[in-house]
Structure 1
Amino acid sequence: IEGKLVLCNPSTRIYRVIPSPSFNEAIFLYNGPFHVRYGFGYDESHDDYKVIYIKDTNYIFPEPYQYETRMYSSKTNSWKKFDNYEKHRLQGTHDVILVKGRLHWLVQYNRNTGSRDIVSLDLAEEEYHTFSHGVEYSSGVVSLVELGGYLGLMNLMSGADANVWVMKEYGVTESWTKVWTLSNFIDQLPRKCIGDRGKLKPLCWSKNRDILIASGQYVVVCNGKNVLRKSRVGSVFEHRIQPIVYIESLVSPLIDQQ
């Protein structure tokens, strides 16, 4: 549905077109001269599916940092204004990650050094929290990921190596643990498989610690040393479309099913 925001159950293909919020619809749909993020998750306490919309006006305007934030509720089928978060600047094209009932995204709190923190939004309490990722890296593209229920961080370095950390104990900075170093990762992939380096996305890991990563037109399986196998999925992962992992369910809590 072109130009619309949609809640969908991929298993049943039942969906709901989300109404435009009260603020400017052109801004709502257009990822233009500012950073825009969407996050989605389930609020178990209130049995409600929620969507968060965040616009970072500081992409074009000077400090102080300020977000324009709205929250959508599937129960009321409406948006409400949410408290703005005014501390740090959103990071590029990074995803909003759902872990432990909270949505997470990377922010930059120092323009000069590029230092980053993680902001989380508790969907039940509707409160912001900020914490350090505690991971040391020297350069490259950094992205937030979810792996096996853990909050994770991936660093793709200019030397074609990729490092992946996970937070073994949620909320404890000291529990960040490096679980993979994928040596010469980029060099092992066909040119068409590389795509946009900033959009490499770990999807899941197996019991034997192999990792599945979406990369350009391919999904690849790695074991930390070598690319074991790869499957081409066409152009679906290119440009603005990104892959996600979900648990199949026949439950469709949407009121106006279509």
Structure 2
Amino acid sequence: MADKNVNWDSLPVEIVTQILIRLPIKSIIISTSVCKTWKSLIQNPTFIPTHLHHSINNNNHHHLLFRLCQDGKEIYALHNDDDDDFTEHTRFDFPFHAVNDNTFRVVGTCNGLVCLSDDLIVNKVHHFFLWNPCVRKFVKLPYPNLTYKTHGGVSASIGFGFDAKTNDYKVVRMVNLPNPNSNSKNLRRDRPKVEVYTLSTGEWRMVTAALPPICTVLGLQQVAFVNGALHWLAFRWTDDDLIYHFVLVFELEDEVFREIQLPELPGYENTYDLDGPVSVYKNCLALFKKRYYRHYRIDFFENKEGSSDQNIWVMKEYGVASSWTKVFTITDQDPDMPFAIGFRRNGEFVLQVESGQLISVDVGNQKMKDLGISSDKNAFVDSYVESLVLLDKAANGAVTY
């Protein structure tokens, strides 16, 4: 009779590795309890990127991560993006509900990590986390250098991405400090301060080798990680006292700044306000441009009329301003019209309507589909790949819950 006691350590490491990288995350976590050899192999820093690379290149199941707010409670869930019924794949336990009873927003996602911030309330001490819900681990970031406590009413915009050169994850804060000469043109000549948190060191540091251009970065906007760089919508005043909008680019590898010109916007001189986040569309830079118009009647005391539109632009060739292409336009007489929040893998984009319901819109035939998902406010959607990142970070402050 064959020996029923299987010696798992006797299998060649190469074979075990090829088996494990093909398993789903839950099965890999269970495999860490099989034997010490397997646990050591799985938690090895070289295995984690190998598994991630295999998942990205061979994954036939694509998911969207949703951050929703329903009845005051935050919900984080994966839905099957390739499923016609858009079924829920996984709902994650959210470990941060008790942090000062604050509401979090998603700064961004990258390689299975979710960057969270509770900076929706201004002029307070904020908390930042890197969270991998698949392995139930998170890292709480230390307080940054530039805060309301240290500098007063700062305005910060945050981005999150991956530095492929150092195999490291970075959180970047673009901070506009308060200017005591707010009534002078000096306010228009300030540069944002930039600080970077790296996961490998667990610390914030100021970026001083390269200076950003003189500009203002819009706070609490969604920041796009594309082509190894973070992208912000920014503006500056020209010598003619006009506002010039552009995309501010920060390369994560070399930590240098660039600018990308925005598409031509007819009627820009009549624009009362111009905003909209940058996003990612099939690994291309995308832009949701929302414009508000105000038309005043001759009689000052009569009502004011208003209208707005939202154009969705895609940069077909990265870095080439002439390749900006408008793929869709939404028009409405109500400034509270539906707004775009993200894209699906098939190229459809996701809108949130006034009722909170989320719908997807086919750019080609402009057909709309109710996703059967709703959110009170601050909804977020982005492509998501399950990973083991942080599984090896117990010694570097990663918390298991």
Q: State the TM-score, normalized to the length of structure 1.
A: 0.80
**Mapping of residues 37-76 of structure 1, within 5 Å:** 37-57=157-177, 61=182, 62-76=187-201
Q: Percent identity?
A: 20
Match for residue 80 of structure 1 among 172, 185, 205: 205
- 1:110 counterpart residue number: 237
Q: State the 1:58 CA deviation.
A: 5.5
**SS of structure 2 residue aligned to 1:45:** coil
Q: Does 1:149 align with 2:283?
A: yes
Amino acid at match of 2:177: T
Q: State the 1:42 CA deviation.
A: 0.6
Q: State the 1:206 CA deviation.
A: 5.2
- 1:218 counterpart residue number: 357
Contact 1:58 1:65 in 2 (8 A): no
Q: State the 1:221 CA deviation.
A: 1.6
Match for residue 95 of structure 1 among 213, 222, 230: 222
* Aligned equivalents of 2:321, 2:375: Cα separation in 1: 39
Contact 2:188 2:237 in 1 (8 A): no
Distance 1:33 1:231, change over 3 A: farther
Q: Does 1:249 align with 2:369?
A: no
* Aligned equivalents of 1:183, 1:25: Cα separation in 2: 38
Q: State the 1:150 CA deviation.
A: 1.3
* Aligned equivalents of 1:9, 1:200: Cα separation in 2: 28
Contact 1:145 1:201 in 2 (8 A): no
- 1:190 counterpart residue number: none
Match for residue 203 of structure 1 among 324, 334, 342: 342
* Aligned equivalents of 1:92, 1:20: Cα separation in 2: 18
- 1:131 counterpart residue number: 260
Q: Does 1:170 align with 2:311?
A: no
Q: State the 1:148 CA deviation.
A: 2.1
Match for residue 19 of structure 1 among 133, 137, 142: 142
* Aligned equivalents of 1:131, 1:124: Cα separation in 2: 18
Higher relative contact order (CA 8 A, sep 6+): 2
Distance 1:129 1:215, change over 3 A: farther
Spell out, residue by residue over 1:41-71, the C-alpha distance to the aligned partner (whole angstroms, 9 max, x if none). 0111110000001211267742321212110
Number of equivalences: 241
Distance 1:215 1:104, change over 3 A: farther
Amino acid at match of 1:128: F
Spell out, residue by residue over 1:18-56, the C-alpha distance to the aligned partner (whole angstroms, 9 max, x if none). 11234557359xxx8442111100111110000001211
Amino acid at match of 1:52: V
- 1:191 counterpart residue number: none
**Unmatched runs of 5 consecutive residues or more in structure 2:** 1-95, 100-125, 293-306
Contact 2:148 2:154 in 1 (8 A): no
Q: State the 1:77 CA deviation.
A: 0.8
Amino acid at match of 2:243: G
Distance 1:52 1:136, change over 3 A: same
Q: State the TM-score, normalized to the length of structure 2.
A: 0.53
- More divergent stretch after superposition (42-51 vs 13-22): 13-22
* Aligned equivalents of 2:330, 2:349: Cα separation in 1: 10
- The structure with more helix, counted as a fraction of residues: 2
- 2:10 counterpart residue number: none
- 1:182 counterpart residue number: 330
- 2:91 counterpart residue number: none
Amino acid at match of 2:188: E
**SS of structure 1 residue aligned to 2:189:** coil
**Unmatched runs of 5 consecutive residues or more in structure 1:** 188-193
* Aligned equivalents of 2:146, 2:370: Cα separation in 1: 47
* Aligned equivalents of 1:26, 1:246: Cα separation in 2: 35
Pairwise CA RMSD of aligned residues? Answer: 2.9
Amino acid at match of 1:53: R
* Aligned equivalents of 1:218, 1:35: Cα separation in 2: 30
